[in-house]
Structure formats: C-alpha cells, structure tokens
Amino acid sequence: MISQEQRGFSLFLSRDLGLWAVHDACLLIILHGNGDSVIGLPPAGTGNKAIALDILWDAIASRSDEPAISRVDSQFVENFVDTKRFRVSKDRDNSDYVYRTEDLIKLTGNRYHQKRNHVNKFLKNYRFEYQVLNDKLVRDFLDLQDSWCQLKDCESNEDLMAEDRAVFEALLHYKYLGFRGGAILIEDKVEAFTLGEKLSQDTAVIHVEKANPEIPGLYATINQQFCQHEWSEVTFVNRQQDLGVPGMRKAKKSYHPDHMVDKYTLVRR
C-alpha cells in the first residue's frame, strides 16, 4: 500500500505552466494545457517507474476530472504499464517522425525533387555563411526568435508563448543541456537557427528550427545544413511530432520519414 505522503500530493512544486516532483529517483511532471485540462508525462529516471506511474496518476486525478498521461512510448507501455488497469490509446498527433540522416543531407531521388529545388534556389540567390552555435551567437538567435514571435503574434497564442519561453531557456543553457546549434547568416545577420541534441548512439533529435519566412528556401536549407554539419555521424534524425496541425503534418510528411515512433495516452480503467 502506498501512503498518501508517498503518493506525493505535497511534493509537487510549481514551475510556469506545470508542476514537478522527484520521487524515488523518478521525475514526475504535470502540465496544464488549454482551458482546465491537466495531463502528465511518463515518469523518467532510474527508480521504480510502475510505482511512480501510480503516484503521478493520483496527483493528476486530484487536479482534473479527466486525468490522462500523454506522450508515452511503446517501450514504457510494454515495461511499466499494467494494461488491466490502464487503457492505452495511440496518440497520432504526438508520434515522432524519424528520417534517415543521409536522406536529409543529400536529398536524392525523385521524392526529394521539390526540396532540392528549394535549396538550389536559395543557394543561387543568396550568399550565406553557416555558423555553429556559440556564446556570441546566442543573442542573435534570441533576436530572430523575437522577430519570429512578433510575426506570428505569439502573445495571443498560449502554446507559442510557452514555446518562446522554452527556446529562451534552451539557448541560455545550451552548454549545460548538451545542445548543438547552427545558424545561417546573410550579410552577417542570423536569418535561421536550429537546436538539437544526440538522443542515442544512432539518433539525433531536432528541438527548434526557426527561419525568416520571407526568404525562399531558407527552411529547407537550414535543415540540410544542420544535418550535414552536425549529425552526419548518426543514422537517424528525429524531428518530433506534428501536434495534429495540418500544415506541420504536411511539411513533415514531405520529407518522407523512414519510420514513426508511436506515442500513446494512458487513462485508468
């Protein structure tokens, strides 16, 4: 039997739009979504994740009439979820797109014809410099993020504001987080930047990719350049989920993923 104190109701600490706690070497995170929705992320760490899952569930259930734990991968489901107690449903919107790094660098074959055209058009029309993220460039990255947010009116969109905060934190602490970054400069001005990290021995993950939308082919070029300069040693690049946004789903499909990493949502039966 797990006591009320062990279940961690009093352990959760507030941070921005979420709550977090550490229990028995497991990190527990609760996020506040749109409206009154509350979801949890699967426990991470070296502790007993099956017990941590129960603690997390009770903490969410005490805060929401429709509790759920989201973005759970198949390995976690297989190893730590009792399917007699939890209903498991596939979450397509949060499933990750994974590409072969070689495909993103070389863009060969008919299926990448349009992407090659975008990159070639940019190369023909612009003189640019690719630079690796360093302390001097952080301010320039943040300036481009500010310009992007003004263009997208981030202040009127809660999700974009949360992303803006995440980009700010990631850039300020990129060394501690082990992130790599790259930028495209045109006339000494950062017009595109991206951030990622090595997820495993054979896979990198891209966390952020921003570019001046008024420059044709720039998004395709920063993607190609970053993979070429930073990730040529890994087999795969994970470009994360599309969140169910039609435009984002179309863009991610257009790069022809090698496979998807399925994610699931857990609800107590």
pLDDT (tens digit, 9 = 90+) per residue, 229-256? 999 999 999 999 999 999 999 999 999 9
187 and 127 housed in the same domain: yes
Among the candidates 74, 94, 114, a domain finishes at: 94
Q: What is the pLDDT of residue 33?
A: 64
Q: What is the pLDDT of residue 4?
A: 41
Q: What is the pLDDT of residue 2?
A: 39
pLDDT (tens digit, 9 = 90+) per residue, 123-174? 999 999 999 999 988 988 888 888 888 888 888 887 778 888 888 899 999 9
Question: Which residue range(s) make up the domain with 168?
Answer: 96-240
Q: What is the pLDDT of residue 248?
A: 92
Question: Are 36 and 64 spatial neighbours (Cβ–Cβ below 8 Å)?
Answer: yes
198 and 104 housed in the same domain: yes
Percentage, residues of the chain above pLDDT 70 = 92
Q: What is the pLDDT of residue 9?
A: 44
Which CATH number belongs to the domain containing residue 129 in this structure? 3.40.630.30
CA-closest candidate to residue 236, choices 261, 209, 264, 208: 261
107 and 192 housed in the same domain: yes
The answer to whether position 246 is within a domain reads no
Q: Per the structure, how many domains does the chain have?
A: 2
Give the DSSP H or E segment for 26: strand 26-32
CA-closest candidate to residue 8, choices 34, 35, 32, 26: 26
42 and 171 housed in the same domain: no
Specify the residue for token string 């734990």.
69
β-strand pairing of 18-23 with 26-32: antiparallel
153 and 129 housed in the same domain: yes
The answer to whether position 4 is within a domain reads no
Q: What is the pLDDT of residue 117?
A: 96
C-alpha separations of 83 from 89, 138, 166, 267 in Å: 11, 45, 33, 10
Amino acid letter for position 226: F
Which residues, 6 or more positions from 31, have their beta carbon under 8 angstroms from its beta carbon?
Answer: 17, 18, 38, 39, 40, 41
227 and 111 housed in the same domain: yes
**Please, which residues bridge with residue 265 across strands?**
89
Please give the average pLDDT of every successive group of 10 residues along the chain, which has 269 residues: 42 63 92 75 95 93 90 96 96 97 97 96 96 91 86 82 85 93 95 95 96 95 97 97 94 96 96
115 and 234 housed in the same domain: yes
Average per-residue pLDDT in the chain? 90
Q: What is the pLDDT of residue 63?
A: 86
Which residues, 6 or more positions from 181, have their beta carbon under 8 angstroms from its beta carbon?
Answer: 132, 133, 137, 141, 171, 174, 193, 194, 195, 196
85 and 108 housed in the same domain: no
CA atoms within 13 A on the CB side of 70: 19
